Structure 1
Amino acid sequence: MRKITRITTQKKHKNRYNIFLNEGQDEKYGFSVDETILIEYKLRKGLELDDSMITTLVQKDNVHKSYTQAINFLSYRMRTKKEIYDYLVKKEVEPEHITQIMEKLESQNLLDDKLFAEMFVRTRMNTSSKGPLLIKKELLEKGVSASIAASAVENYPYEIQYEKILKWVDKKLNRGKKESFRKQKQKLQGTLMQKGFTQDVIKDALANINEEKDEDAEWDALIYQGEKLLRKHQVKLDGYELRNKLKEGLFRKGFSIELINRFLDESLDKTHDHYE
């Protein structure tokens, strides 16, 4: 048995205490504990401790220090169970201590993946241009179960997805760009899928922008692309082969057959007149 000879407050951490024990006739530093451990075990000068109790106190204090670190990690924002677990592993906390800490945090309602997922979806929905499928992927990466993630993204309604897509498309659709309207729509569709929006809402929202198609801008874009192709191919091709090559190239670029034929009639006639 060893007796506590003195208890002092640490200078830098006022809620931690140094415990000194007798070493024969001398005194020696034994260990330190948090105030909660000091109170729980009624540590005081003159109290006798055996080796197993000292080991218990040190372990209890280690758990408390790790628990405090976890609380601090949680103070910045909510975390998933996996995030807390990974954090404690990174801090090299003993596996059995991690279990104790996780159970304590859950009992205090400080770890709740369902609540985390719901708040995460709400925040992403209000502050980003991401769709529900991408947000669900983020939740899965944070360790939220598939069922909880799926349930949470149901709080991202079709109507909000639709409005968000329309606003985003309105900013990104460049009517002065030298590309066909269809080509621009295809690119927008691809980007929206990457952003995690569902197929049905993408289709509905993009169908809505067909009414905004600018025929003059479309014709200007076709002339720009058509003249580029003409300069490229007229060196080696002429007649039917040239016309077919231009038609094929412009169709791949998303222009309508009607506009393509109009361009070919006008531009190839001019080319023919030029050579005559």
Structure 2
Amino acid sequence: MEDEDFGKVKNYALKLLSLRPRSVREMENKLSSYLARKKYPAGFLEKLIAELTRLNFLNDLEFARWWAEQRGRANIKGKTFIKKELQSKGIDREVIAEVLSALGTEDEYEKALQLAGKKFSKLALDRQSEQKLGRYLQNRGFSYDVVRKVIDSLSQRG
């Protein structure tokens, strides 16, 4: 009976992982609530996390790389925003630093410029618009240096 129950929990975990990659902490949270809801033994959690990690279904480094790529490409977010999201998902500081260093500053500048162009293409950049653009970009996780570079670039064009 216990093997059958463990199999059900494992199937649930694999279903979650088939939807999208997840961090170890995300899986721990999802599985612990599932175990409590279904009244399965709490010991399944540690056993299943260990097995999924051993099989490389759970890998925080690979998850962090995937997450940063998705957030940077699809949602156009800056490094600071991505860093906060990864921290909230339980990713280790060293892993976050490694992943963010691979993103590159020039790439971040291009993303910020693209985002600014979409949002503020029709505005003349007076002082108030520059401040608004600066807040907009910083709220999306771009560093002050990148924001300043984007504003300077758009001011020279306009």
Normalized against structure 2, the TM-score is what? 0.89
Opposite residue 123 of structure 2, the aligned amino acid is R
Q: Distance in 2 between matches of 1:81 and 1:207?
A: 41
Aligned mates of 1:131, 1:170 — CA distance in 2:
15
Alignment-derived partner of residue 95 in structure 1: 42
Pair 83,175 (structure 1): closer, same or farther in 2 beyond 3 Å: closer
Which residue of structure 2 lines up, in the alignment, with residue 73 of structure 1?
16
Aligned length: 153
Offset of 1:72 from its aligned partner?
Answer: 1.2
Q: Does 1:175 align with 2:123?
A: yes
- 8 A contact 1:80–1:111 mirrored in 2: yes
Cα distance in 1, alignment partners of residues 119 and 12 from structure 2: 45
Question: Counterparts of 2:143 and 2:152 in 1: how far apart (Å)?
Answer: 14
Decide whether the 8 Å contact of 1:121 with 1:155 is kept in 2.
no
Helix, strand or coil: the match of 1:154?
Answer: helix
Give the deviation of 1:175 after TM superposition: 2.9
C-alpha separation between the residues in 2 aligned to 1:172 and 1:97? 49
Tell me what 1:229 maps to. Answer: none
1:143 aligned counterpart, secondary structure = coil
- Once the two structures are TM-superposed, the CA of residue 168 in structure 1 deviates from its matched residue by 2.0
Q: Is the 8 A contact 2:116 2:137 kept in 1?
A: no
Residue of structure 1 equivalent to 2:75: 128
Please state which structure has a larger fraction of its residues in helix. Answer: 2
Structure with greater strand share of residues: 1
Q: What residue is the counterpart of 2:64 in the other structure? A: 117
- CA–CA distance in 1 between the matches of 2:54 and 2:147? 42
Deviations 1:202-245 (A, max 9, x none): 111211122133xxxxxxxxxxxxxxxxxxxxxxxxxxxxxxxx
What is the CA-CA distance between 1:77 and the residue it aligns to?
A: 1.0
**Equivalent residue number for residue 134 of structure 2:** 189
Paired AA for residue 104 in structure 2: P
Question: CA contact under 8 A between 1:113 and 1:144: conserved in structure 2?
Answer: yes
The match for 1:209 is 154
Aligned residue for 2:106? 159
For 1:185, the aligned partner's letter is: E
Residue type of the alignment partner of 1:89: S
2:33 partner amino acid:
K
RMSD (CA atoms): 1.6
Higher relative contact order (CA 8 A, sep 6+): 2
Q: Deviations over 1:176-211 (max 9, x none)?
A: 6xxx71110011001111100111111112111221
Matched residue type, 1:175: L
Q: Distance in 1 between matches of 2:112 and 2:54?
A: 41
Residue type matched to 1:84 in 2? Answer: M
Please state how far the C-alpha of 1:169 moved relative to its aligned partner. 1.9
> For 1:60-84, what per-residue CA distance to the aligned partner results, in whole angstroms no more than 9, with x for missing partners?
2211211111111111111111111
1:63 maps to 6
CA-CA distance at 1:154 after TM superposition: 1.6
